[in-house]
Amino acid sequence: MHPRIEIVSQKKLVGIKLSMSLINDRTGELWSLFMPRINEIDNKISNDKISLQDYPTSYFEVFDPKLEFVKWAVVEVGDIMCLPDDMEQFTLKGGLYAVFDYKGPSDDKSIFQYIYSTWVPNSKYKLDNRPHFEVLGEKYKNKDPESEEEIWIPIQLK
C-alpha cells in the first residue's frame, strides 16, 4: 500500500476530547458523546468527521500500550463563532502528511502496524511530532468490511 504525500494547511477544528491509551481505549465513549451533539457546531465546512490523536512527544520512541494520549472527535469549521457547551477548539498546524486510503473495518489495527513498522522505516520519511488523524467521510461505516477512511500520518524527510 502506497500513500499519497500531501501538504496540509492549518485547520480549525471543534469537538470533544478524552485521554486514553491503547489498553484503555475510550474511542466508543468519545464518539457516543460527540455524535448526538454534532449539529450544535456552526460553520462546518463538510460532513466529514475527524478522529484525531495528539500524542506526547516521546510516544513513538518505545512502544507501550499503557501510554496515554489525547483523542479528539472533531469536525472542521471555517470560523469559530461560538463553541457549544463542553466542546473545545483545536488548531491543527499545517505540514507534510502521508495519506493512506484504507478500506476495511475500523477495529482492524493491522493497517497501523504496517504503517509504523513497515512503511515509515522503509520510506524516506520519519514521523513528525504533530497530530495523527483519520478522515471519516461518507463511505465510513465503522466496523463494516466495506468501510473507507483516510489515515493521515505526519511526516518529515529523514
Locate the domains of the chain by residue range. 4-157
All three cell numbers of 55, joined, read 500524542
Instruction: For CA atoms 104, 116, 1, 139, give the dihedral sign.
Output: positive
Say how far apart CA 34 and CA 3 lie, in whole Å. 29
Q: What is the CATH number of domain 4-157?
A: 3.20.80.10
Per-residue pLDDT of the chain (158 residues; tens, 9 = 90+): 899 999 999 999 999 999 999 999 999 999 999 999 999 999 999 999 999 999 999 999 988 999 999 999 999 999 888 899 999 999 999 999 999 999 999 888 899 999 999 999 999 999 999 999 999 999 999 889 999 999 999 999 99
pLDDT digits (tens, 9 = 90+) for 104-149: 998 888 999 999 999 999 999 999 999 999 999 999 998 899 999 9
pTM of the model: 0.95
Please compute Rg for the chain using Cα positions.
15
Residue type, 71: K
